[in-house]
């Protein structure tokens, strides 16, 4: 093959800051705070148990980020990771409920993240938009409160309201969050919704009909409902797909079994993303390479996928135009 996927201009639109801490970062933060590691360093990311234990570990990591400088440094490191994978723009999901030190002080949290992203940008690293996320287990009141805060703040770094979390555990929650998402849309925020991974196709319908999703995170189980696939294609609602994350978490046995190619061929806008790259051991350029091989994609098809990642992003129009032109030249 010999194709260079680092130099392929692209955006990353489904990635959680919480899933971007490398072992080195975690060890350093723990030592800065005088906190003992729960396991030896070489086994740090090997969390025993299921999703619940995994999410608790995530909260433990984020709990180590306590000062403004530590949070700004995490943002800067994120931009650096993006640059190394040849990402020209990223929308990053940050869920305040995971960050013990910040969950009650979201304006300060956004200011610290903005400081790190702005520094990175002035050093020539790619631009990043913040998608502030609700957790599926939060209440309707909490969701409206977050949106009120965001719309009063109107911080230029914040591009979207997001929602994530385990829908198998939380059950159907679309109706509970409809009002918050309606208000977010009215306040000029984009809306991105985790659905169709830990929920089935009905979760994706709710994301479209109740939450007004501009983009769906995962959305892969739409493949189980042909009417939904038609709807996504007709309305050109993009899916931010994370193939290796889905295989690792057991949704599909192998990459060739993953529905991304069927969705793409059905005309649904699909992009390739990494979800929680440090925790899953992923790099975006490798994800493109693995999928290109599994589905025998031509250069034209790869350019199409990169272009979709850019159009699906919440980047400024000027950034999109520049990146799209660069894709054509790849």
The footprint of Zn ion (CB under 5 A) covers 275
Cβ 137 vs Cβ 170: under 8 Å: yes
What residues contact residue 179 under an 8 Å CB cut-off, 6+ apart? 140, 143, 144
Q: Toward Zn ion, which CB reaches closer, 242 or 305?
A: 242
Residue with the CB atom nearest Zn ion in the bound state: 275
- 279/306 with CB nearer Zn ion: 279
Q: How many Cα neighbours within 13 Å face the side chain of 218? A: 28
CB of 164 to Zn ion, least distance (A): 6
Helix (H, G, I), strand (E, B) or coil at 92: strand
Q: Which two tokens stand for residue 13?
A: 């639109």
Residue number with CB closer to Zn ion (10 or 16): 16
Nearer to Zn ion among residue 30 and residue 45 (C-beta): 45
Q: How far is the CB of 211 from Zn ion (least distance, A)?
A: 16
Nearest to 202 by CA among 222, 216, 177: 222
The nearer residue to Zn ion, 113 or 131, going by C-beta atoms, is: 131
What contacts 260, CB < 8 A, 6 or more positions away? 220, 241, 243, 270, 272, 291, 295
Kindly provide the b/e burial profile for residues 292-324, where b requires at least 16 CB atoms within 10 angstroms of the residue's own CB. bebbebeeeebbebbbbbbebbbbeeebbeebb
**Smallest distance, Zn ion to C-beta of residue 318, A:** 28
Nearer Cβ to Zn ion (126/277): 277
> Minimum Å distance from CB 19 to Zn ion?
8
**At closest approach, how far in Å is the CB of 103 from Zn ion?**
19
d(CA 68, CA 74): 10
CB of 235: closest distance to Zn ion in angstroms? 22
């Amino acid at each position: 093959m010999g194709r260079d996927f680092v130099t392929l201009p692209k955006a990353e639109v489904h990635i959680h800051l919480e899933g971007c801490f490398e072992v080195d970062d975690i060890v350093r933060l723990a030592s800065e705070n005088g906190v003992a590691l729960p396991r030896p360093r070489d086994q740090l990311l090997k969390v025993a148990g299921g999703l619940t234990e995994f999410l608790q570990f995530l909260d433990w990591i984020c709990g180590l980020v306590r000062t403004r400088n530590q949070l700004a440094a995490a943002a800067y490191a994120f931009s650096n990771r993006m640059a190394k994978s040849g990402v020209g723009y990223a929308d990053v999901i940050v869920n305040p409920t995971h960050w013990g030190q910040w969950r009650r002080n979201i304006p300060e949290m956004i200011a610290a993240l903005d400081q790190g992203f702005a520094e990175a940008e002035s050093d020539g690293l790619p631009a990043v938009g913040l998608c502030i996320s609700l957790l599926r287990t939060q209440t309707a009141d909490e969701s409206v409160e977050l949106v009120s805060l965001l719309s009063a703040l109107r911080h230029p770094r914040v591009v979207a309201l997001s929602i994530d979390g385990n829908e198998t555990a939380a059950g159907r929650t679309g109706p509970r969050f409809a009002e918050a998402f309606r208000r977010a849309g009215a306040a000029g925020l984009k809306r991105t919704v985790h659905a169709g991974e830990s929920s089935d196709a009905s979760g994706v319908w709710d994301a479209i009909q109740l939450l007004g999703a501009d983009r769906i995170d995962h959305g892969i189980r739409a493949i189980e409902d042909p009417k939904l696939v038609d709807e996504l294609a007709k309305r050109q609602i993009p899916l931010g797909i994370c193939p290796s994350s889905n295989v690792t978490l057991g949704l599909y046995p192998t990459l060739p079994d993953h529905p991304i190619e069927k969705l793409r061929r059905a005309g649904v806008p699909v992009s390739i993303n990494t979800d929680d790259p440090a925790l899953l051991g992923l790099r975006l350029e490798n994800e493109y390479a693995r999928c290109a091989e599994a589905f025998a994609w031509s250069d034209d098809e790869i350019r199409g996928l990169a272009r979709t990642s850019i159009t699906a992003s919440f980047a400024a129009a000027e950034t999109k135009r520049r990146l799209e032109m660069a894709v054509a030249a790849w």
